Amino acid sequence: MKKKLLVMVMAAVMVVATVAGCGSTKDNADKKQGGEPNSKLLGLSVDQQFESRVSETDAIKEEAKKQGYDIEEVVADGDAQTQNSQIETLINKKVAALIVCAVDQNTIETALMKAKNANIPVIAFDRDLPDSEATDTYVGPESITDGKACGEAMAEALANEEGTVKVLELVGALNDQNGIDRSTGWNEGMKKLKNLEVIQMPTDWDSETALEATQNAFQANPDIKGVFCGTDSFIPGVETVLRDLGKDALVGEEGHIFVNGVNGSKDGYDATVSGVADGFLVMDLQTIGETAVKLAGSLIKGEKVDVQISSREFIIPMKMQRLIKIKSGAQNN
């Protein structure tokens, strides 16, 4: 029987949360800068540049320009120690606020504490730092919700499978809050399947590692029925493996293997249009970037920052060609 194609186009839940121990608001009016900061200079510390991250940082730069701020951007190329050194440089330049996406949540705290001690507000974006004592606020996806949405969609699609249902989970990174939370949420969503066996493979967000992990998983478990990608940029690698194994039936065809993922990259978009993937979840990258700058402005002025939660969710049953008509960040990412 032909399966109904579900394409999830979801602007992920946005969370702006103050750090633990500060209550629901953060008042910076009593902060006195060590030396005179450049009130119009924002520091932007980025983990690495890839498709969705560029979309976020472009939004940050656009909003900063609108608000009359200059941006000093540094990119760590995935190296935690480089990022720590770069943050220290931004502190020495007396930026008025620091907007940061961490390479490694376990090692960045020392550098962020130096910013805090210099009375520089710290805004984490895209990747939450829930255990940090240095961050003032966070804006980005609620990744548990994102993962759960993908898990529930897969569980529903595989509900009628008989016997043990084996699925592959390509985990992002175990030292990354997004990777941890997406995995937590996805596994929660998959609990609807009682006869489930999850084959979990870490990837450290690397597409080549994900491809090799997929090859190894299918070699050991040729009866895998579904693949969840911690980021949908893994989907082309999954497609390559399925094609090589002769398991590349498209959505609606007999023998199709369910595939979905999170991010809203062009890879996820193209795979869903072609019928390789069953759906993808799109984060509202534009809003993340814009909100990060607005929060920075409020904190610089000593204003209170309240916990804010906003979301838009679109789960659309559709034929593949209808996806082309959807206006989303995925089209330009």
> pLDDT of 301-322, one tens digit each?
999 775 444 343 433 333 333 3
Residue 253 in tokens: 């065809």
Q: In the chain, what is the greatest distance between 2 CA atoms, to the nearest angstrom?
A: 70
The answer to the question of residue 330 being in a domain is no
| Total domain count, the chain | 2
Q: Are 271 and 242 in contact (CB under 8 A)?
A: no
Same domain flag for 169 and 79: no
Same domain flag for 58 and 188: no
E strands in the chain: 6-16, 38-46, 70-75, 95-100, 122-125, 137-141, 165-171, 196-202, 224-229, 258-263, 279-282, 308-317
**Could you tell me which of 163, 35, 45, 34 has the C-alpha nearest to residue 102?**
45
Percent of the chain with pLDDT over 90: 61
Buried b (16+ CB within 10 A) or exposed e, 32-52: eeeeebeeebbbbbbbeebbb
Which strands make up the sheet holding 122-125, listed edge to edge? 70-75, 38-46, 95-100, 122-125, 137-141, 6-16, 308-317
**Could you tell me which of 270, 281, 46 has the C-alpha nearest to residue 150?**
281
Same domain flag for 170 and 261: yes
Same domain flag for 252 and 210: yes
Instruction: Indicate the pLDDT class of residue 36, thresholds 50, 70 and 90.
Output: low
Q: State pLDDT tens for residues 174-197.
A: 888 889 999 999 999 999 898 999
The answer to the question of residue 237 being in a domain is yes
Same domain flag for 302 and 231: no
Same domain flag for 210 and 236: yes
Instruction: Indicate the pLDDT class of residue 81, thresholds 50, 70 and 90.
Output: very high
Q: Which domain holds residue 104?
A: 14-140+284-310
Measured from the Cβ of residue 244, the count of other Cβ atoms closer than 10 Å reads 11
Same domain flag for 184 and 77: no
The answer to the question of residue 319 being in a domain is no
Confidence check: pLDDT of 50 > 90: no
Instruction: Indicate the pLDDT class of residue 9, thresholds 50, 70 and 90.
Output: very low
Alpha carbons 72 and 64: distance in angstroms, whole number = 11
CATH number for 248: 3.40.50.2300
What pLDDT does residue 102 have? 93
Same domain flag for 184 and 124: no
Same domain flag for 42 and 66: yes
Same domain flag for 199 and 127: no
The CA-based dihedral angle spanning residues 104, 209, 126, 141, taken in that order and rounded to the nearest 10 degrees: -130
pTM summary value: 0.78
Q: State pLDDT tens for residues 114-172.
A: 999 999 999 999 888 888 999 999 998 888 988 999 999 999 999 999 999 999 999 99
| Residues in contact with 160: Cβ distance below 8 Å, sequence separation at least 6, in sequence order | none
Same domain flag for 255 and 295: no
Same domain flag for 190 and 155: yes
The answer to the question of residue 7 being in a domain is no
